[in-house]
Structure 1
Amino acid sequence: MASREPATGPAAYDPSEESVWRPLRLLLGSMDDDIARVYADAALDGIRPTHVMELLRLHARGPMTITELAASVHLTHSAVSQKVAALRKAGMVRTVPGADARTKRVALTAKSRRIMPRLAAEWQATEQALVELEAELPYPLSRVVADIGQALERRSFHDRITALLARDPAWQ
């Protein structure tokens, strides 16, 4: 492990070189890249794996405000707003007037409605592939996630981090 001595310049300690969960982020990124390749192979231009849930949700529930869409997919307003901007640019969604002049709703375009059956099929195939993959593992990731969720209900990640920082002189 590298020295934790404060330093400057090229020899400075870089805590980002150590990461328990970086391999998980890289694995998930690689899996998303494989899904993107599926879209590219099928000539589904303008579709990114990170946008499909929102498109499927709009297809199932109809036009929604960004706030409603964000709540339905458990993301922040800001994150969904950025996704909607990208989807609008790709011609997948448009905004339509809402109940009052201040409100706009996000709606699918004809272009995106045409590919919804394919996106739903890919989502289901991906979920099935994950079930098959987990069957090969001694301890499935979905179980790990549930176990981590239960542990965090007992003591939040925030509380765990702040307790460690309280003992670290560099944080003071």
Structure 2
Amino acid sequence: MAETGKTRKEDPGAGVGDPSRESLWRPLRVLQEGMDAEIARIYAERRIEGLKPSFVRELLRLHACGPMTIGALAESVGRTHSALSQKVAAMRAAGWVETVAGADARSKEVTLTEQARGVIGRLAAEWRATEAAVAEIEAEIPYPLSRVVVDIERALERKSFHDRIAEKLAEDPAWE
């Protein structure tokens, strides 16, 4: 739902100094959520039930590399062990992966279920189509998102996000 910038009368907190009403992040997050919802709609049209777009990278990686420990899978997709452990739990609950005994008795590996193997070709096709659609969008706009990301990464190399926030907080008496 798009925000119009108008204050609605039924909103009792409007204009009371709520800093969460201003957000430079929100449009980007709303954009990504909307695009993910469109991908989920593609899955629903093909009757791929219970699949979140956020699961697909890991499912494709497991298909390409075979069973992996959570740590190895996390490293391969650039996530923390903790974050990926939670995602694996959600994917397991949805029936996309299972954990099996690893090479030694103490380890477990994540592997695709039959359900996941049955749609993996479609997921790879969707991934390629999504990347092509993003490239098409980037060609239509004057400043490609991939360039924005690189430019932000370079700015953060010059000064970290943490340091930027800490500087602003040091100037704010409410932080003390």
Q: Same fold (TM over 0.5)?
A: yes
Equivalent residue for 1:153?
A: 157
Equivalent residue for 2:100?
A: 96
Distance (Å, rounded) in 1 between the aligned partners of 2:137 and 2:39: 15
- Could you say what secondary structure the match of 2:109 adopts? strand
Equivalent residue for 2:61?
A: 57
CA deviations 1:47-94 (Å, max 9, x no partner) are: 110100010010011111111111111112222112111211222111
Equivalent residue for 1:116?
A: 120
Letter in 1 for 2:98: R
Mapping of 1:1-80 within 5 angstroms? 12-80=16-84
Equivalent residue for 1:6?
A: none
Distance (Å, rounded) in 2 between the aligned partners of 1:62 and 1:116: 13
Letter in 2 for 1:110: E
Deviation at 1:111, TM superposition (A): 1.4
Letter in 2 for 1:42: R
CA deviations 1:1-32 (Å, max 9, x no partner) are: xxxxxxxx957521111101201100110000
Deviation at 1:104, TM superposition (A): 0.4
Equivalent residue for 1:83?
A: 87
Runs of 4+ residues over 4 Å off in structure 1: 9-12
**More displaced, 149-158 or 82-91?**
82-91
Q: Structure 2, unaligned stretches of length 5 or more?
A: 1-11
Q: Structure 1, unaligned stretches of length 5 or more?
A: 1-8
Letter in 1 for 2:169: L
Deviation at 1:99, TM superposition (A): 2.2
